[in-house]
Amino acid sequence: MSTAPRVVVLTVSDRCSRGDTVDTSGPTLQALATKYLAATIVHAECLPDDMGALAQFFSHWSEESRHIDLILSTGGTGLAPRDITPEALRTVMHREHAGLMDLSRLRCLQKTPRTFLSRGIAGTINRTLVITLPGSPRGCTEMFEAIADILPHAIETLRGDVKDDGRPELDATGQDGSGSGLGRIIHHKD
């Protein structure tokens, strides 16, 4: 990856936001993003399970002027009545990316079928990828690690650093002899 991804981490928890308990999942995600993505953590925050506050957070940190590549949230993706993180994200998300969380659940299935109890979603707002993960340190770790290998490519693609239009005449630098500078080309093997 050309430059370190800029990451924001959100913990969604009524109890943590009130100070009734210590947030351990947010710091866990920060450490994982640093370890696997060599990320720069730009901001971390804890918010209650409140639809308006969550939607505003996602919108605010995905403004193009902030240049945030990835927002990772932890919490609010289960079946409890106040678990509304996916619904809050859907109110502001531009494009959903269901396959990303499908892959995460499939890869985690070997560890526990409970992974399918997470209603977490992923999608984009402008050029920011947003991923909603479970609220436990174990759950958010397992689901993040399940997709960590493909996140750099996803971020590069959102940045516009990767172009893959299938034209074999382009070399690895994205040049076709015309000097168009189309960007880095990834040729996929069949």
Confidence of residue 54 (pLDDT cuts 50, 70, 90): very high
How far is residue 93's CA from residue 103's CA, in Å, rounded to a whole number? 20
Using one digit for the tens of pLDDT, what is the confidence trace for 11-32? 999 999 999 999 999 999 999 9
The domain total for the chain is 2
Residue at 67 is within a domain: yes
Residue at 132 is within a domain: yes
**For the chain, percent of residues with pLDDT exceeding 90:** 83
Confidence of residue 186 (pLDDT cuts 50, 70, 90): low
For residues 22, 108, 129 and 135, what is the CA-based torsion angle, rounded to 10 degrees?
-20
Residue at 33 is within a domain: yes
Residue at 97 is within a domain: yes
Mean of all residue pLDDT scores within the chain: 90
CATH number at residue 24: 3.40.980.10
pLDDT of residue 162: 80
Mark whether 151 and 187 lie in a shared domain.
no
Q: Given a cut of 70, is residue 33 above it in pLDDT?
A: yes
Mark whether 184 and 152 lie in a shared domain.
no
Mark whether 141 and 188 lie in a shared domain.
no
Mark whether 60 and 124 lie in a shared domain.
yes
pLDDT of residue 82: 95
What is the identity of the amino acid at 120? G
Domain of residue 135: give its range.
Answer: 6-159
Residue at 1 is within a domain: no
Mark whether 168 and 153 lie in a shared domain.
no
Q: What is the pTM of this model?
A: 0.86
Q: Given a cut of 70, is residue 183 above it in pLDDT?
A: no
Mark whether 101 and 29 lie in a shared domain.
yes
Mark whether 87 and 134 lie in a shared domain.
yes
Confidence of residue 164 (pLDDT cuts 50, 70, 90): low
Mark whether 62 and 37 lie in a shared domain.
yes
- Residues 6 or more apart whose Cβ sits within 8 Å of residue 19: none
Is the distance from CB of 122 to CB of 96 less than 8 angstroms?
Answer: yes
